[in-house]
Structure 1
Amino acid sequence: NKSVGDFDSTPYVTTFFQCGLWVSYCAITPDRLNVLVVNVTGVCLELMWCSIYFYFCTCKAKLFLKMGTAVALVLALTFLDLRFVAHLALKPLEAGETLETEFLGLVAVVANIVAYASPLAVFRQVIRTRSVDSMPLGLSVATLVSSAIWAAYSALKHDPWVMTPNICGVALGSIQVALYSVYCGGSKAAQQAACTSADAGVLDCGGASARKAVPGEATRARSPRGPEESM
């Protein structure tokens, strides 16, 4: 319908941001090709979606500011990691890792959790309106499924930076799907009420049209009397 409706751009901008951070993390961490490919794909998909959203939304300046901030933060954090963190006289928390990997891993974990929780930005609105029209079910299901898969992958790779946000993602995705299942009935009821109102409007229009035919009968009734009636 050439409109973004009630959907918020925040979940997609935060996903773009965290995918960008994971790309930087994989670039400096060996044996993370699978994670790199997935997150490069994620960056491209989120750019495409945000471009479509930008074309149809009315608040273009707000979305442009969000995307610009996300890009600037990814670049700034990557530069900070490579330029300053690498030269700190500290030992890595995990043997065999570097400070750069741990710093970007920590930042990416926080961003990942925020991205998983971002559909809950409309949590209050869903409860207040008892409608899930502003809550994308596909994104919530994708959060639950993908985080479960990545949690299993990170367990095999013994990577705590990938495991931590995805365990949180399983929990947050479950909350979102449960919230949707509780309030999806309210959206259906609202749609049925709207259809009933629309049907009633059609009937009213039909009644008005029928009533408009009555004056024609009155006109015929007011027509001049024939010769038989004048006698």
Structure 2
Amino acid sequence: MAGISGHWAFAFGVLGNIVSFIVFLSPLPTFYKIYKKKSTDGYQSIPYVVALFSSMLWIYYALLKTNTTLLITINSFGVFIETIYVGFYLFYAPKKDRIQTIKMLMLSVVGGFGAIVLVTEFLFKGVVRGQIVGWICLVFSLCVFVAPLGIVRQVIKTKSVEYMPLLLSIFLTLSAVVWFFYGLLLKDINIAIPNVLGFILGILQMVLYVIYNKKEKAILKEQKLPEKLQNHMIISIDEKNKNFPGLTEEQIIDIVKLGSLISSGKIHIASCLHDAMCASAKIENTPNNLQTVEAIN
């Protein structure tokens, strides 16, 4: 019976590696968007820093246990890919977000992980050390699942799913199910318990996505606006910037945002080909509530 349980545990472990591999790769579309925008505006580094810390802890835990090769393989990949994500984020992040991310890295990955290794190595021995590290892994695994709740809060606040990583939510939920059974079959509560919460939070994120995505589509349909024009502003600027002398495009955007009381609109810049076409500018409120800054003669 124990042999059968072991075989099933191995099967779920392999499946868990496959699903977790996809989970680790699922933020790639997010970072592609960051690359295209050349900015991390609207995105947070917390999930990636926490995931990096958690992967490091699980490797340490696995080294203290037996028959945990499958934990080592997937979390080694996790450390590798999350390090790339964090580095990419730091490269494109504004100064304030970059400093905050570096502080989190120093506090968790350097200070936190280093302290855990030193304390458990010197104060605990044998099985007890494994149990202590397992409890710590349990707590921080819960943090990995809770970290995306910042995005959930943003979705509820803005009533928009633009920054909701749906693909990540789906695979985190599937991963939670697989690793729960893996931990259950190994009779390791440190692996099984966090994945119960992971499943619940994953379902919550997917439900919110469906709700607010439907609301967005309903609003667009009611206003009869193309989705790509919703909450957008179009600013027309001449080549010599005669309309707004002495101001950069970014400064013009900020001024127009404040003036039109739009806090979350997207702004497109359209440069005029001929100076004569851009003598002045005005703001018009169209019947469909699409606010446009247009050049007039």
Q: Shorter-chain TM-score: what band?
A: 0.7 to 0.9
Which ranges in structure 1 are unaligned for 5 or more consecutive residues?
87-96, 213-231
CA deviations on 1:90-112 (whole Å, 9 max, x unpaired) are: xxxxxxx8111110100110100
Counterpart in 2 of 1:8? 44
Counterpart in 1 of 2:190? 161
Counterpart in 2 of 1:172? 201
Q: Which amino acid aligns with 1:68?
A: M
Counterpart in 1 of 2:258? none
Q: 1:66 aligns with which of 99, 104, 108?
A: 104
CA deviations on 1:169-205 (whole Å, 9 max, x unpaired) are: 1111111111111112355557945516769989xx9
C-alpha separation in 2, matches of 1:2 and 1:200: 20
Matched, 1:152 2:209: no
3-state secondary structure, aligned to 1:154: helix
C-alpha separation in 2, matches of 1:28 and 1:155: 19
Give the structure with higher Rg (CA): 1
Could you tell which deviates more after superposition, 100-109 or 136-145?
A: 136-145
Contact (CA 8 Å) 1:133, 1:187: kept in 2 or not? no
Identity of paired residues, percent?
Answer: 25
Structure 1 segments, 4+ long, off by >3 Å, are 185-194, 196-202
Which ranges in structure 2 are unaligned for 5 or more consecutive residues?
1-36, 237-269, 278-297
Q: 2:79 aligns with which of 39, 43, 52?
A: 43
Larger proportion of helix: 1
Counterpart in 2 of 1:91? none
Counterpart in 2 of 1:90? none
TM-score (norm 2): 0.60
Please list, as runs of the form range in 1=range in 2, the aligned pairs for 1:1-231 lying within 5 A after superposition. Answer: 1-58=37-94, 59-71=97-109, 72-86=111-125, 98-187=127-216, 192=226, 195=229
Change (3 A) 1:133 1:187: farther
Change (3 A) 1:198 1:140: closer
Change (3 A) 1:114 1:127: same
Aligned pairs, how many? 196
C-alpha separation in 1, matches of 2:176 and 2:194: 8
Q: Which amino acid aligns with 2:166?
A: L
CA deviations on 1:57-84 (whole Å, 9 max, x unpaired) are: 1121111111121212112112111111
Change (3 A) 1:171 1:199: closer
C-alpha separation in 2, matches of 1:187 and 1:84: 55
C-alpha separation in 1, matches of 2:189 and 2:38: 42
Change (3 A) 1:160 1:200: closer
CA deviations on 1:114-168 (whole Å, 9 max, x unpaired) are: 1111111233321121112232222212211111111121122121110011111
Contact (CA 8 Å) 1:13, 1:67: kept in 2 or not? yes
C-alpha separation in 1, matches of 2:233 and 2:40: 26
C-alpha separation in 2, matches of 1:166 and 1:196: 38
Q: Which amino acid aligns with 1:56?
A: Y
C-alpha separation in 1, matches of 2:193 and 2:230: 48
